[in-house]
Every structure is written in C-alpha cells, then in structure tokens.
A and B are shown apart, each in its own frame.
Chain A
Amino acid sequence: MKKTECVAMLLAGGQGSRLGVLTQKIAKPAVPYGGKYRIIDFPLSNCANSGITTVGILTQYQPLELSDYVASGKFWDLDRRNGGVHVLPPYQQISGANWYRGTANAIYQNLNFIERYDPEHVLILSGDHIYKMDYAKMIAQHKENNADCTISVIDVPLEEASRFGIINCNPDGTIYEFEEKPKQPKSTLASMGIYVFNWDKLKKYLTEDEANETSSNDFGKDVLPAMLNDGCKMMVYRFNDYWKDVGTIESLWDANLDLLNPKIDLNLSDPNWKIYSGTQGLPPQYMGESADVENSLVTVGCDVNGKLDYSVLFENVTVEEGAVVEYSLIMPGSVIKKGAVVRYAIVAENAVVEEGAVIGQSPEEISNIDNWGIAVVGDGLTIGKGAVITAGKMITEDVKEGETV
C-alpha cells in the first residue's frame, strides 16, 4: 500500500432517531437533501474537493441503502486505484463480534484499515451536516501549528451554545477546556465534530481508551479530554461559512429551505467546489400549462402542474393540477394529486398524497404555537382522498380516505 498523507474516517453509523420515520429504513447520512443530494454527499464531495482520496465510511445502522449509494465512490471521483472509499461495517474477529460502541470505538475497531495507509494524519468526519469546507486548509493549519489534534469550530449564537459541545481556547487557538452542552457557556465556539489527529497520537489514545473499562468510547466525552489532560497540543480551526446540523425534522426542513434564501451563500454547483451526487438517467423537469412556481427548487424527472412556493421537489416528483405545495419538501418519487394541499411538511420518498388530502398547517392556523410543527409522511405511504394530517404529526402508516390525524 502506498503511503497516504491523510485518511478520512466518516462516522455514518448513527440511527438519527430524532428524524423519526425518515430514518426508519435508512441511515441518517442517506437521508435526501436539497432536491438531488443525500447528506453524505457533503462530506464526500468535501473530501474529493480537498484532495483527500482515501475515505473509510463507518456504517452500522441500516447500511444497505447507504452502501449501495456509495458503491465504488465514482460519483465523487473517489474510485481510486490507491485508497478510494471503503464501507466499513462492524465485523467479527477472533476475540468475538462487537457492534461499534461509540465514535472512538468505531475508529478503534478499524485501526488496521488506517494502518494499511500509514498516514501522517487522520481526519474524523460525521455524516450529519450540510456545509462546504476545505479540509486541506484545516490540515495545513494543523501542520503549521505542530498540533497533536485540531478541532474545527464555529461561532454559534450565545442562546444556542448550550446545545453544543463548547470549546474554550486561548487567543492563540490552543484549547484549555471542553464543556459538553454547558448551561452557562463560557464561549460560543461549538465543536463541529471534525477532528484532525496525528496518526501516532490517535492510535495511542484510542488504544488506551479501549483498555479503560469506564470509558464510553466517545471522542467528545473520553478521547479528547484524555488528550487534553495529558498536555497534548490541541488547537481550534475556525470555520466561518454555512454549517448546519440536520439531526432533527425542523433543522432538516430549515437547511433545505436555506437553499432558497438569497442571503445564504450555499451554491452547490460552484465549479470550484461542486457537491456531487448520484443522480443519473432522468430527463429534465417539465413545467406544465397550469404550473405556478415561485421560490422553489425543482430537479430532474419532476412534472409540475400545480402551485409551488417555498418548496423543494426532489427527483421524479409529480404535482398535479390544482395541488398546492408550500414551505415543504417532497422527496423522490412522491406524487401530490389533484387539489391536495401540502404545507409545512416533509413527504418522504415514493409517497402518494391522494386528491384533496391536506397535509400540515401553517403556524398562523394554530392557536397555540407550541402545538405547531412540521408534518411528516413516511416513505411509500398513501394518504387517502380528502384525509387531513394536522401540524407536527409524523405519519408511519397509510391514512384512509377522509380520515383526520
């Protein structure tokens, strides 16, 4: 195996349970985003654009669709003779078979994969975020600082800081403290879950962590604090562009509609930093005689005859005449039939919304705003004629004609 400067390890095993029905059958990184992408397209495209061509993808929960999608990595130009993408599920060893117990344990179980490339650096990524980032710049800063570990951070609003792992650092960027979801945050620098390690240090600390029976085998809770205690040189790398966690229904919905916000710079077809995806073999979209489309994203294979406003249509979606889709995401292959109304909702893949059905409600229609939320229809479901799905409901089975949920 040729020596490789940097190996990326992408943690893609999480269930993403807060996405409910959307991750019932697929892993979170495989969740569709932005009309023609899946979440995992972001870290993989970032790797390819950053010149990192050896990527291990750690899968565990519902890996089938994700493995199929990643395949040989050709969509991201990561089908390489040396390196390339490798899907790494848990496997059986002489000592027995173990699921990945935590983020650190997942990497520990694949130390032999990294060993093959004998890298100088290992980049740890997660499959939960929408962002465009040049990892090469982060690695360059890591080298320049002679750091043992560099953690990418982003400034978050003070009122949101207690939702994140907060990092306290000196003006020169050296880290002196980690605070996991602090009630009274001392800083507003949140960890993005992106780490660069020197390979020898990572190997040492993962091996020690594994031997420690009280450890939960998590990077944030165990490995990083252990390194800090030992006086390792740990630095922040400041990231200032768009970055959004898509771990909840609302944040996923938000991050999609951000693509329609002219104030947000999130151009996914920038020739200098394209986000690649696996779409192929579909004809362009057709806008019919009665289409009425504003403020929306629509992609290949769609056929629109209804009204769209502030919405994202994924591949092969049909919106029939008289149907209305507002502030909603309609995922691949779904059909919104005549006169149906979809508002503030996410309709997952291959669902059918029959004529006259009403899904979701706008916040103004709700007397108590605390009861409001995005309505979600699970994949492959049928919502019967004239059925009504109220705000915030998560639908996991077919809804009969005329029923109200």
Chain B
Amino acid sequence: MIISNTLGIVFANAHDALLKDMTKTSSMGAVNYGGRYRLIDFALSNLSNGGVSKVGVITKSNYYSLMAHIGNGKPWDLDRKKGGINILPPYISPEAQVYKGRLEAIHGILEYLEESKEENVVICDSDVVANINIRNLLAYHKEKNADITVVTAYGKKPNGQKDMMHYDFGEDGRIISVDFSPAEDCEYSLDTMVIGRELLIDIVKAEFATQGVSLSHGIFEKGLNKYRIYGYKHQGYSAVIDSIESYFNANLDLLSKEVRNDVFNKNNPIYTNSRDDMPAKYGLKSKVKNAIIADGCIIEGTVKNSVLFRGVKVGAGAVVENCVLMHGAEIGAGAKVSNVIADNFVKISDNKEVGAQTGVVYIEKNTLIGG
C-alpha cells in the first residue's frame, strides 16, 4: 500500500555555480553522472522509492535539458493523475520573480504549497549522490515527533559550499547547535530535509515579511530552540558534488563494488530516462578493465579505471585511463587520454594525446581536439 502524506520539493539549480563550466547551459540537476544518470535522478528516485508521489522541481535557469529529461516523470513512476511531477519555473505566479535564494524560491511557489494537502515536505537539492531511504527518514521524523529532520553524513565536511552546515547532536538526536565553519569528523548536511508543510509556509512567510536573509537562517538560527529539529544519519555512501574534482571522484567511486551495491541498491533502484541504445559492443582487441560502461558504447581500444556514458566510441589502439567520458564522446584510433572529463560529444582525433599527470582536465561539450 502506498498512501503518501508527503510532498517532494527538489531544487534543480542549487549550487550550479560550483560546477560552472559544466552547468553553463544546463543545471546541477541535469549534470551527467555514473554512465547513464543525471544528478536529479537520485532525488527523484529516492522520493519515488520512498512512496512520495507528488514532486515539484524548482528551476531557475537553463532548464531545457532538465525538462527534456524529466518529461512527464514516467521513469520515476511520477506520471500520476493525482500528484505527479511538476516543473516549477520562476514567474510561476503573477508576483514571482527570478529568485535569489531558497527563501525567495519557496516564496515563489507558496501557491503550490498552499494548495497541496500533504502533511510533510521533503526538500532536497540535486547535488548529492546517495541512495537515501526516504521511508526510514519519514518514520524517524515521526518517531521523534520532530518539526524538522535534516539528513546528515559523517566525515570531513565538503568545502565547496561556503554556507554548508554541520551539526552537533544532543543525546536523542536533536540538533543542539549548527556550525558553518570547515570541520573534520562531523555530521554535515546532505541538503535533504523533512519539514511540516504548514510550518514551512509559516517560516517562509515570516522570514519574507521581515526581509529575512535565508531559509536556513529562519530555521536554524532563529528556530533551533523553538522547533524540534532532528538529524537523521544517512548510513550508506554519499557524495556532495561541489567541484570538478568531487564530481570526478564521485564518478570513479562507482568502480568500487561496495559503492555500486549501495548506490544502486536493488530494492531502491535509481531510475533514469531510457535512451534505448543497443548493448555496448566490444571489438576485436578491446581491453577493458575496472570500468563502468553504458549501453551504446563501441570499444575497440583500451579502457581502464574510467566511466563511459552512453554512446561513447573508443577507436582501435586508443588508451583511455582515469577518465569520465560523457554521452557520445569519441576517442580516435591511437589517441591517449588520461585524467580527463570529456563532456557530451567531445571528439579527440586519432593519435592525439590529451590529459594531465595529476588532477583532472575538463573538456567542454562539443569540443573537437586536433584535426
């Protein structure tokens, strides 16, 4: 039985600037990941697997590719008569405007929130790779009789977002303090939280009326003692994408079986839009080791420690090492490519050498390298 009393709100553009080369013409949610996904697939699949059947996706700019990807929400089972998925662009209501922060964004969709009947709202960004069990999160939220529950991960706090929070927990999991400074060994935010729908509306209205600065200000600075705010510790793998490096590493993390089994949990699959490519084709003398390969690839060369998206071609004698090659990238015969992120449809000519000894080189969409 799936009767959900929860609404999902996903921020598609949050933290775009941290991947500014990659999001020049798209949004964080539309960034490619793991061979066949886009980052927003995690938020949408987690919500869907958690029984949430009404989801609003807040967009700001460059949202064509995101809209094309989401379509009517079918892959996530969100093509519903009741609820379903809604893209919520700016200018959705007469007084709306392009929002600056989360507070303005949510203020812009107050009508949507007020019309909804659900008791709780799960708000998430689309910059996190994690298979978060929303059902357990909601159960925890209820069990603690919380007003707000934030999802956290333990470890060194990612340093890309300058206002990322980490929390100190009291004995029963209630959050007693919030800190924005860099930290090691802490419980930091995975940009996902549950909040009562009416409470969210109240906080947003109050903050807006007093020209408040941000949603987190309204919740965590003013409300820490006023509201029952709890932390839900996510146990499995997680990666916050806040730089080209963290993007690269989060892709290569999938080469670990443990990570794959956790992220692509068979009981809570991550869904995406199907492209209907034929299976990957390995040619004569292909040599592929420790690699994630998507359908539609044609591989005639060597590929090691890499993630290849759908429709990538690797020519005969080419060597690809420590790379993330996105949709339709083509590596010419005899080319050598290492430590590279090649965006969609990058072409590297025959016998070219591209890459770095250390670190990672990002090559923009549609770039042709060599002849």
Contact = CB atoms under 8 A, between A and B. Distances in A.
Interface of A: 34-36, 74, 259-260, 267-269, 274-277, 279-300, 308, 312-313
A297 B264 contact: no
B299 to A, nearest CB: 9
Contact of B290 (A287, A297, A312): A287
B269 A269 contact: no
B260 A293 contact: no
Given A294-B286, A295-B283, A284 B36 contact: yes
A281 B37 CA distance: 10
Interface stretch (B10-18, B216-224, B274-282, B356-364): B274-282
B279 A312 contact: yes
B284 interface: yes
Contacts of B255: 286
Nearest to A308: B282
B183 to A, nearest CB: 32
Nearest to B255: A286
Given A260-B281, A294-B286, A285 B274 contact: no
B326 interface: no
B74 A74 contact: yes
Nearest to A36: B279
B35 interface: yes
Nearest to B75: A280
A227 B311 CA distance: 49
Contacts of A276: 276
Interface string B286-298: 1111111111100
Interface in B251-309: 255, 257, 260, 263-264, 269-271, 274, 276-296, 303
Contact of B278 (A269, A281, A284): A269
16 contacts: A74-B74, A269-B296, A280-B274, A284-B292, A284-B294, A286-B291, A287-B288, A287-B303, A288-B289, A289-B289, A291-B289, A293-B286, A297-B278, A297-B279, A300-B295, A313-B279
B329 to A, nearest CB: 15
A287 B75 contact: no
Nearest to A315: B279
A36 B279 CA distance: 7
A287 B291 contact: yes
B285 A35 contact: no
A36 B285 CA distance: 24
Nearest to A282: B269
Contacts of A35: 278-279
A286 B75 contact: no
B34 interface: yes
B292 A299 contact: no
A36 B271 contact: no
B85 to A, nearest CB: 16
Contacts of A298: 279-280, 282, 293
A274 B271 CA distance: 21
Contacts of A267: 278
Interface of B: 34-36, 74-75, 255, 257, 260, 263-264, 269-271, 274, 276-296, 303, 311
A223 B105 CA distance: 67
Given A267-B278, A293-B282, 18 more contacts: A34-B279, A259-B278, A275-B278, A276-B276, A280-B271, A284-B35, A284-B36, A284-B295, A285-B292, A287-B293, A288-B290, A289-B289, A290-B289, A292-B287, A295-B283, A297-B282, A298-B280, A298-B282
A260 B284 CA distance: 10
Contacts of B285: 294
Nearest to A292: B287
Contacts of B277: 269
A277 B282 contact: no
A296 B283 CA distance: 7
B179 to A, nearest CB: 36
A299 B282 CA distance: 11
A268 B293 contact: no
B360 to A, nearest CB: 20
Nearest to B281: A297
The 10 closest A-B pairs by CB, nearest first: A35-B279, A299-B279, A284-B35, A283-B264, A268-B278, A281-B269, A269-B277, A297-B279, A284-B294, A287-B288
B276 A277 contact: yes
Given A283-B264, A286-B291, A34 B269 contact: no
Given A36-B295, A285-B292, A285-B293, A295 B284 contact: yes
A281 B76 CA distance: 9
Contacts of A260: 281
A258 to B, nearest CB: 13
Contacts of A34: 278-279
Contacts of B282: 293-298, 308
A289 B290 contact: yes
Given A283-B260, A287-B288, A287-B291, A294 B283 contact: yes
B290 to A, nearest CB: 5
A152 B139 CA distance: 61
Contacts of B303: 287
A279 B272 CA distance: 11
A289 B280 CA distance: 18
Contacts of A285: 280, 292-294
A280 B264 CA distance: 13
Contact of A284 (B34, B284, B287): B34
B287 to A, nearest CB: 8
A180 B251 CA distance: 58
A81 to B, nearest CB: 14
Contacts of B283: 294-295
A283 B270 contact: yes
Contacts of B290: 287-289
A341 to B, nearest CB: 19
A286 B35 CA distance: 10
B126 to A, nearest CB: 18
Nearest to B293: A285
A140 B295 CA distance: 35
A283 B281 CA distance: 17
A260 B286 CA distance: 13
Contacts of B311: 269
A291 B278 contact: no
